[in-house]
Structure 1
Amino acid sequence: MQFYFGEKDSDDFARHLLSLLLKDPEFGKKINKNIRIYSARLKEFCAEIDKDFLINLSNAKLGKLYISLDELHTELYTWGWLPNAVDMFHANFTNYLKDFLSKKIESGNVNQALVALTASPKKSVLQEDHESLLNVIKLKQANVPAAKFNKALEGHQNRYFYLKHLWLGKEGVYDKKYYLREINKFIRSGENAKTRLYKESAALFETLEKRRALIKNLRLKKKEIDLFDVYADFAVTKLFRRAAQIYWAYKMDFIFEEIAKRLKIPIIMVRFMFPNEIKQCLENGVLDRKSRSELSARSKYCLYYAEKGCDLVLFGKEADQIEKKIAIAPTEDIRELEGQVACLGKAKGYAKIINSVAEMKKMRKGDILFSIATNPDIVQVMKLAAAIVTDQGGITSHAAIVSRELGTPCVIGTKIGTKVFKDGDLVEVDANKGVVRKI
């Protein structure tokens, strides 16, 4: 799937959002608050949905349920995409904070200061998942009764099993066997879970102490501190939102399966229907031949364009003609790229381009991971990487958040990193300066 955006429109909107944040950082706090509220509502709504529940619904009620879920998810996305919009495409928020810091400290220390000031005391969903599993392992290493261990493991699984699902659920969800393998792998490594938890807690405390000291040294005003807090929390609420959306996508599979069964079409075709089309087809109880043919074409290849008050889907020759008009910038002679600093450090290694689970097998410890945008499903290879580089940027990017939690050097927002670098290229990453180069 390719995603395109208007260069000028996205910059204009980002500038407008940034002006609102600078005028009153409380607006940023409101964004983060609403992301948490609507994420919680979405998860709560989805909790009761299962196959048995859906089977007993009439077509009309099934359609109404789908529309209600779509509207709630849209409300979440309306708030959830504001942090992306202000920083993902042109790094507007990041660049403002860097410019602000450059007037207070030497230019060579700006990236380090930005990373320090945007450290958050709040833990992401991924960090909570990680710590929860360590606490289960701690029980195992303490030789507690099997019943107590199994209860703790079951509780962990019930809270986080769905995180593997992502949007289409091709890889399924995390089961008990997966967690037992992870537990046994950790124990075989010789590490102690209690010690690891202590070290990670101490490291976070040290990071926050450095942040407090820097705030004091720079004599930041409350409004300025609030801006750095909002920026940091944008990263945390991004993963909070994404976890709720993954749970929603997991539950939506049950709904799509039920709709597909009733309309007698493949589930992939249901995924390419608009909400109003689903509602209407369920009310009619049938999908006509023309609609079936169009949905089949959409599911193979289509172009979707949207703006306020307008939805447009093109497929076949019309979609091909538009795709051919999209200019692709040459990348052959480029040997060095710059991006945003997400996590400090330097590393050298061989490039590995990984955008899906199927590509994970080529990753080796010490390689440099390149990805358009990382996701929760490839965290295992992120742990092997000597450094991480992504095309997409912004403080809300998954790579930015996870790299900080792992302490792995990371440069985001290179835009064309996965096109410039190829598997096996010897690469140097200077995440102190945001530079990636072929050696």
Structure 2
Amino acid sequence: MKRELMWNYSAFLFDSTKESGRLYYRVSDLESMHVKFFKAFEADPDYFSKWKKTYERSLQPVHAFYKELDATDLSSFGDNELLKRVHTGIDSVTAAIGVAHMIEPVAIPRDEHLKKELAAFVSDAGELQEAFVLLTSPDGESFAQRATNSLRRIAILPEKEQGKAVDAYMREYSWMWMSCAGRLPMSCEDIYAEMRSIGASKGVSDGASKCEAFVKDHALPEILLRKFEALRFITHWQDERKRNIMIAVEYLERLLEELSRRTSIGVADLRYALKDDFDASLPQKKAELTARREGSLYIATEDENVILTGNAYTEAMKVLRGELKEEKVIRGMGASLGKATGKVKVCMTLDAIKKVEEGDILVSSMTRPEYFAAMKKAAAFVTDEGGITCHAAIVARELGKPCVIGTKHATRVLKDGDMVEVDAKRGIVTLLEKADGGKRMRETQKRSGG
């Protein structure tokens, strides 16, 4: 990103434990880049679309690499050739992020800035939240919704034509069940089960007409409307970036599986290797990779990169996370309006999403496309991270389910089985009843001397 934009993050942290992780940015970086990018946008309305075109051009060599892998039996590569392909695979993941890493400083601070600007025209808090959701809802479908609609079309085909259509679907969307923590194998049986679980389309939303009416009634200025339009554009771009990242990771995963077969290092551990680790000395790094998977903190600055594991990691995380206080009301931002009550299911890994049942409240650090099946079952979503352009916000609107994002620590406060009420219009999650009957609160009070 620095090469293209002449600007970069001064530092960031990545905390990873087993198959889950959390990325931390400096607030000052997000704010300073946010100001820079929006000054450029105000001077040139095509600023963001120009950078998106640059991003798309940068992916052309990546697509050629994918075609090579598709046409090659990976076992035919010599060891050095395979390591070179792994390096290229890592570069492909980096390219899938690329200049689109400008999305975070555009979107994350923009939520609050735009809400404050909109408040000058809307006095009622409830109406303000509803208007904000309307004005930030993107037009068109996300890739997850396009995949769902493809399955709907397959489901109404004559039975003898469905098999061929399912095969084509699997080729097009094989990456959909991919994450940075691995992939779930996609089978024909899975696709048919998915087809059976999909309900009828809810039809076209009237959100656009409501948005048009709101703008007319409140006489919003042109510059404010342009900023909302930019945020909707960024939402589409973020969805496209997510798709590109998942495809890149899926190809890299294929290479890691072949490398694992040759080195006897598990794929789960190989995911914690950095690009420079993939050389002839890789087999000697097995213990270090296992330690990173157990818990590691990656500290990246302009001058150096540091990885903390073991006791150093544990002590650093105590400082980073701070002391967790008991809360009955958790506050965030409503991304899709509505209210729902249900039992919490905290999902931080691919395996965890299997426990979500109909009517549960899905709580996660952030949602990803592989969560989609669980999200269809859940009554509402709650996330620690994310802005109005995030995956949870997009899917919640498409499914018409309440969603509260950016709570910071819902996954640490809430536990499986807790009964909560999600009120997205107010942006709050209320703990109604603990799964352990209040035992956690009593233990917290005891530790604090209360």
8 Å CA contact 2:362, 2:382 repeated in 1:
yes
Aligned residue identity for 1:312: V
Q: Deviations over 1:259-284 (max 9, x none)?
A: 34555644444333322332x42xxx
Give the 5 Å matches for 1:265-414. 265-278=265-278, 280-281=279-280, 287=282, 289=284, 291-332=285-326, 334-414=327-407
Deviates more, 1:387-396 or 1:122-131: 387-396
In the aligned structure 2, how far is the partner of 1:414 from the partner of 1:288? 41
Percentage of pairs with the same residue: 27
In the aligned structure 1, how far is the partner of 2:274 from the partner of 2:355? 38
Equivalent position to 1:93, from 99, 110, 119 = 110
Unaligned runs of 5+ in 1: none
Q: Deviations over 1:277-303 (max 9, x none)?
A: 32x42xxxx5574x4554454444433
Unaligned runs of 5+ in 2: 1-15, 433-450
Instruction: Give the aligned partner of residue 212 of structure 1.
Output: 212
1:431 is aligned to 2:448: no
Aligned residue identity for 1:330: L
Distance change in 2, residues 1:233/1:114 (3 Å): same
Instruction: Give the aligned partner of residue 82 of structure 1.
Output: 102
1:112 is aligned to 2:130: yes
Instruction: Give the aligned partner of residue 158 of structure 1.
Output: 171
Distance change in 2, residues 1:271/1:356 (3 Å): closer
In the aligned structure 1, how far is the partner of 2:191 from the partner of 2:348? 24
> What is the aligned residue count?
411
In the aligned structure 2, how far is the partner of 1:327 from the partner of 1:166? 24
Q: Deviations over 1:137-178 (max 9, x none)?
A: 122xxxx361x33222222222112211222335x2321111
Instruction: Give the aligned partner of residue 180 of structure 1.
Output: 192
Aligned residue identity for 2:324: P
Distance change in 2, residues 1:435/1:353 (3 Å): same
In the aligned structure 2, how far is the partner of 1:311 from the partner of 1:249? 22
Deviation at 1:132, TM superposition (A): 0.6
Aligned residue identity for 1:174: M
Aligned residue identity for 1:178: D
Give the 5 Å matches for 1:199-238. 199-200=202-203, 202-203=204-205, 206-220=206-220, 223-238=223-238
Distance change in 2, residues 1:42/1:427 (3 Å): same
Distance change in 2, residues 1:69/1:432 (3 Å): same
Instruction: Give the aligned partner of residue 140 of structure 2.
Output: 122
Distance change in 2, residues 1:100/1:181 (3 Å): same
8 Å CA contact 1:36, 1:240 repeated in 2:
no
1:28 is aligned to 2:48: yes
Instruction: Give the aligned partner of residue 70 of structure 1.
Output: 90
Instruction: Give the aligned partner of residue 7 of structure 2.
Output: none
Deviation at 1:5, TM superposition (A): 3.6
In the aligned structure 2, how far is the partner of 1:208 from the partner of 1:47? 39
8 Å CA contact 2:179, 2:370 repeated in 1:
yes
In the aligned structure 2, how far is the partner of 1:337 from the partner of 1:295? 36
In the aligned structure 1, how far is the partner of 2:297 from the partner of 2:62? 28
**How big is the alpha-carbon RMSD for the aligned residues of Structure 1 and Structure 2?**
2.9
Distance change in 2, residues 1:430/1:257 (3 Å): closer
In the aligned structure 1, how far is the partner of 2:268 from the partner of 2:352? 23
Deviates more, 1:33-42 or 1:310-319: 33-42
Deviation at 1:436, TM superposition (A): 1.8
8 Å CA contact 1:35, 1:241 repeated in 2:
no
Distance change in 2, residues 1:243/1:176 (3 Å): same
8 Å CA contact 2:235, 2:390 repeated in 1:
yes
Q: Deviations over 1:356-375 (max 9, x none)?
A: 34334543333322221122
In the aligned structure 2, how far is the partner of 1:356 from the partner of 1:269? 15
In the aligned structure 1, how far is the partner of 2:288 from the partner of 2:98? 29
Deviation at 1:310, TM superposition (A): 2.0
In the aligned structure 1, how far is the partner of 2:145 from the partner of 2:34? 29
Instruction: Give the aligned partner of residue 243 of structure 2.
Output: 243
Instruction: Give the aligned partner of residue 136 of structure 1.
Output: 154
Instruction: Give the aligned partner of residue 168 of structure 1.
Output: 181
In the aligned structure 2, how far is the partner of 1:123 from the partner of 1:376? 14
